[in-house]
Structure 1
């Protein structure tokens, strides 16, 4: 009985000693079997700058695995450069051992010696491939970290998102106000004739979104509108005005740090003015005899092909929430001369002597952004 007890104690002690060692390092040693164990005064030189891979960066690159480190720079002429490794590659494994962070990569480097042959598991733009590399070394004095140029940290530019987007625009309104005041009945007979659109600008409400299509470019869409309506009981007339635009966007983002992401881009689309007027003629609205001998309804519009160069700044508050600011310049190229009218029959006519109303405006937007 005592012999069994002593045996169990010895086995327990041995087991405890074995478990006290880092199992990850044990596994790593096993993975590195077959490498040179000859001491060297040189240290292993890859020629890459690396950083831990976070979730936003992985999503922005389209990488779906839970391990790997990001290569942010490759020195020209280095061993890594010569075998084809490039910036934004993800190093997944060395000799079959998965790399979860920079610390593990450094631990593996300490087990390598110049002259060892290793294979690297690399991810690039959705493709995974293996590369064989002969490890090279250089003296520790030359590879002293203080003498190496510091790597400029690469920040993620995001994967996309969307939100409600407000715009403040200031555009020429003289022709529009003249039309609102004089369409239909004489000016003095309509109360809404004096409700002119402000020359100081109007607030447009809309929405948009975009997605990362690679190398920092984002493709998306945006649209916004402003509307005004009024009616006059005495003349039984009603007017509606609408200003709108919409189109596709292409932007190039630049990350200044993890909180500030700027972009330059352009919107291409269409938009314009539309005024709709309706009225009842020869009416008798007396109970119970309610009658009207006629009605009038017309839509007047001027349309443009829209171009908007713009600059944005995204201020990240949370991983999924930011403040988006935008400044742009909207310019409209008319699709036809003058204004056009659509009758109740659906036919469209050009309006004689109608002005070639221009459209150009500075656009300013500040609002929330959901996503990154």
Structure 2
């Protein structure tokens, strides 16, 4: 009988624990196969639809490893481990996979698949992997409806996520719209273990009802899984082959097409900009502000650059009377000269003209001189008159 003695290193304990945790999701029985240069752990589920294998190199994960074979066990020794710790010598069951019949292959990051599987409900049973076009690969988890008479034992559940092709390292499918259905429970266990090391998961398969191989390599460790599949065949003769370098090209073309469509799209008619009304500079009055309900606003522009309001525009202003009678309504008022040009007229000439005009046709009760609307001392601060 062969004798195997080994001591697992600190790093090997952690790796072996993760492997046993993954194998425990496939079967309660784990087969141990020892060779001179490696130690393998395998498991086969009770329905024989899933097979898992972990092979560890002895140089890295074991501080001490001794193998002494005798007779027919000179090269390897195998046994089967149970949860109750006793073991029995029995040949391990190995699942065979014919790589020559593989027609479909894809590879993707395990962390990407881990994020994908987190969106699926734990109650789902099946995972359907298929591609409908050259841009996306659909991962659909579903649960079939189970009913007994009128009583529904299990409600149907359907969740689908589309993954872009450029997320895959490579994607080669012989048939378009080929549906491959596997067990969600087994696939989730594989993805959870692979995400610990962050390696890429490679899938190889041919047709539905044929096994699918999932594998990834860690540090001095090889992991292989075989899952039974069902599904529907797609349209034969339509082959899709896309790598990561080629997968980004359609997206760039799609973005370019979208930008061209945007550039050639008819530009919506702009609303005509409302031209702001020509606003003249406000003309501040030199007289005190008096609120009158009947007062009308001043004209928009001042045609006359004189210091006084022209006679034709005089009717648009109501005179300001501070303690005077209403019969002095024709008196002129001081206003602001927006031009800034000093007027040639002065108060003396204006008073003389006013006296001459009123002497001929004015009533005897009219005043003999022009009454200012505001004291001259009050308007000197505006710079209109000299000192």
Please confirm whether the aligned pair reaches a TM-score higher than 0.5, indicating the same fold: no
User: Structure 1 or 2: larger helix share?
Assistant: 2
| TM-score, length-scaled by structure 1 | 0.17
Q: Which is greater in Rg?
A: 2
| TM-score, length-scaled by structure 2 | 0.16
User: Structure 1 or 2: larger strand share?
Assistant: 1
